[in-house]
Amino acid sequence: MFADIAKIFIKSGKGGNGHVSFRRELFVPCGGPDGGDGGKGGDIIVEVDKGKNTLEDFRNRQKYVATPGEEGGGKRMHGKNGKDLVLKVPEGTIIRDFETKKVIADMSGENQRIVLLKGGKGGLGNMHFATPSMQAPKFAQPGQDAREIWVQLELRVIADVGLVGLPNVGKSTILSMCSNARPEIANYHFTTLTPHLGVVGLKGDRSFVMADIPGLIEGASEGVGLGHEFLRHIERCKVLIHVVDASGCEGRDPVEDIKTINEEIEKYDPDILKKPMIIACNKTDLIIDEQDSDSAVTRIKEIYEPQGVKVFAISAATNTGLRDLLEAAWTYVEEAGAKEVEVYESEVDLETLGHKEQLEIEYKRLDANTFSVEGPKIEKMLGYTNLQVEKGFEFFQRFMDEQGVIKQLKKMGIQEGDTIKIYGHTFEYYDTDAYEEGDMESAIEQAFPKRHQAKKNGEEEE
């Protein structure tokens, strides 16, 4: 099975919940809060593994889930962090959001390792929420949600030189003769179904990477067969060696074959034709009279050499003419050297990738100055929180901020002093970003006039 494209589901670990507990000691009937923090959920990490050249693993297994963080414990115990999950991919793998097809990351060049989905942060235990005015906080922070997304992995081979041509012309044979790669070679079409890479060594420490790309056929650019998948690999090669069967032993005309392939490449992406190309006329060992003015090699030379394309007569089977071919390829590779392969920019915000849409939160504008915010999650959080105290209020406010509620309300045009209704509670809206430290105090004072009065009178709450 051809495996250079795969669809997988990834999910990071949810953060562990903060814990609610109180110290129990002999002779101390009511100890302080000692609920520990939840552990962080595991990340989904993607790493380049240079030893890999297919995405086959991802065809066999589709779901990848990192472990969640554990809940905090009593006695200030921190919950165990979830384990990260590392996906190993071949270099040149492009990761896309399956739904939008936007590029998330391109594992090429400098990008060798990336945290794709962050695990949820652990929630704070109730030990953090004790204040002089509230010594027994019965709430703790829930861990952050896991993130999940379906992604598409696409492999684009990164090689200096790509061998292109129709099936059975001897591309794999060439690669195996010039490098330590061992692609399968057989006398039938479509022997090679995945690109193979090999390092070609030349005299004096010179080397380049050559890719044997599966045979292209007419209609490849329209997706006949797996043409599109194969053409994709050519995009990143710096130099192309166009291989033809010059013996015509399959009854084809190699001149026509070159045209066919070039047309397919052009339809797919005309820019590819701007890359330096060399023509390798293979299987010349089968030609009886090479000097024949009507021979394929002669005709190809007549057409292409005036266009500045180098043409080599070779025989991969008998290792004839390969060295000159490789030297010519090297010259082009060296010239192209400075030009780095194009690395795709990420088109998504990794910070929010895979965040579940907060569909559960429902926003309504009741009138010009009143908004309502509801949803199970918010309701649950309200239950957790003691809004009667400053700390609790701040805590709830932070939660609303984290959930993007404030951002959403701003989008809806909320103004200073507007009212937010949440399950029977009424809040006045103050833009906390607009306040300095001291001003915040007075904003809270306005929101909690009763409490501040109490403070002024020197009374303790609770």
Ligand X SMILES: Nc1nc2c(ncn2[C@@H]2O[C@H](COP(=O)(O)OP(=O)(O)OP(=O)(O)O)[C@@H](O)[C@H]2O)c(=O)[nH]1
User: Which residues contact Mg ion by CB under 5 A?
Assistant: 172, 191-192
CB of 272 to Mg ion, least distance (A): 20
**315 lines the binding site for ligand X (CB under 6 A):** yes
**168 touches ligand X by CB under 6 A:** yes
Cβ nearer to Mg ion, comparing 164 with 373: 164
Which region among 148-156, 188-196, 261-269, 387-395 touches ligand X (by CB under 6 A)? 188-196
**What is the rounded CA–CA span in Å between residue 69 and residue 13?**
7
* Residue closer to Mg ion (CB basis): 89 or 240: 240
The tokens for 98 are 């399956």
Q: Specify the stretch interacting with ligand X by CB under 6 A; choose among 3-11, 63-71, 92-100, 167-175.
A: 167-175
- Between CA 273 and CA 207 the distance in angstroms is 24
Q: Which of 137-145, 282-290, 292-300, 401-409 is the region at the interface with ligand X (rule: CB under 6 A)?
A: 282-290
Residues 105, 185, 311, 322: which binds ligand X (CB under 6 A)?
A: 185
Residue 89: which of 63, 118, 42, 50 has the closest Cα?
Answer: 50
Strands 277-282 and 239-245: parallel
What burial letters (b/e) apply to 195-219, b meaning 16+ CB within 10 Å? Answer: bbbbebeeeeeeebbbbbbbbbbee
If one asks whether residue 67 binds ligand X (CB under 6 A), the answer comes out as: no
DSSP state of 33: B
- What 3-state DSSP class applies to 279? strand
Q: Is 101 exposed, middle or buried (0-12, 13-18, 19+ CB in 10 A)?
A: exposed
In angstroms, the CA 385 to CA 126 distance is: 11
Of positions 12, 54, 81, 172, contacts ligand X by CB under 6 A: 172
Q: What is the DSSP letter of 82?
A: P
3-state DSSP call for residue 250? coil
CA distance to 120, 122, 146, 262, per residue, from 38 (Å): 10, 4, 14, 59
Backbone phi and psi for residue 218, each to the nearest 5 degrees, phi listed first: -60, 135
Helix (H) / strand (E) containing 47? strand 44-48
Are 179 and 163 a contacting pair, CB within 8 Å?
Answer: no
Shortest reach from residue 282's CB to Mg ion, in Å: 12
Q: Does the protein bind ligand X through residue 136 (CB under 6 A)?
A: no
3-class DSSP state of 442: helix
**In sequence order, what are the beta bridge partners of 161?**
210, 239
Nearer to Mg ion, 192 or 397 (CB): 192
Residue 167 touches ligand X, criterion: CB under 6 A: yes
Interface segment toward ligand X; rule CB under 6 A; list 165-173, 218-226, 293-301, 451-459: 165-173
Distance, in Å, from the CA atom of 210 to the CA atom of 201, rounded to the nearest integer, reads: 10
- 93 binding ligand X? (CB under 6 A): no
CB distance 198 to 178 below 8 Å: yes
User: Of 74 and 248, which CB lies nearer to ligand X in the complex structure?
Assistant: 248
Tell me how many residues contact ligand X (CB under 6 A).
23
Which of 191, 221, 358, 372 is in the footprint of ligand X by CB under 6 A?
191
- Please, what is the minimum distance in Å from the beta carbon of residue 192 to ligand X? 3
Q: Contacts with ligand X in 193-232 (CB under 6 A)? A: 214-215
Q: Tell the burial category of 249 from Cβ atoms under 10 Å away from its Cβ (0-12, 13-18, 19+).
A: exposed
Nearer to ligand X, 205 or 289 (CB): 289
Stretch binding ligand X (CB under 6 A), from 19-27, 52-60, 141-149, 184-192: 184-192
Please identify the residue of the shown chain whose CB is closest to the bound ligand X: 215
By CB under 6 A, residue 233 contacts ligand X: no
Taking the complex as a whole, how short is the minimal distance between the CB of residue 51 and ligand X, in angstroms?
22
* Count of Cβ atoms closer than 10 Å to residue 379 Cβ: 12
Q: How far is the CB of 297 from ligand X (least distance, A)?
A: 13
Four-point Cα dihedral 303, 309, 313, 319, nearest 10: -160
What's the min distance (Å) between Cβ of 154 and ligand X?
21
444 token code pair: 């809270």
- Cβ proximity to Mg ion: between 192 and 282 the closer is 192
> Is there binding between residue 316 and ligand X (CB under 6 A)?
yes
Residue type, 202: L
Stretch near ligand X under the rule CB under 6 A, chosen from 1-9, 179-187, 301-309, 427-435:
179-187
Binding piece for ligand X, criterion CB under 6 A, among 69-77, 164-172, 423-431, 454-462: 164-172
Smallest distance from the beta carbon of 166 to ligand X, in angstroms? 7
Residues that bind ligand X (CB under 6 A): 167-173, 185-187, 189-192, 214-215, 282-283, 285-286, 315-317
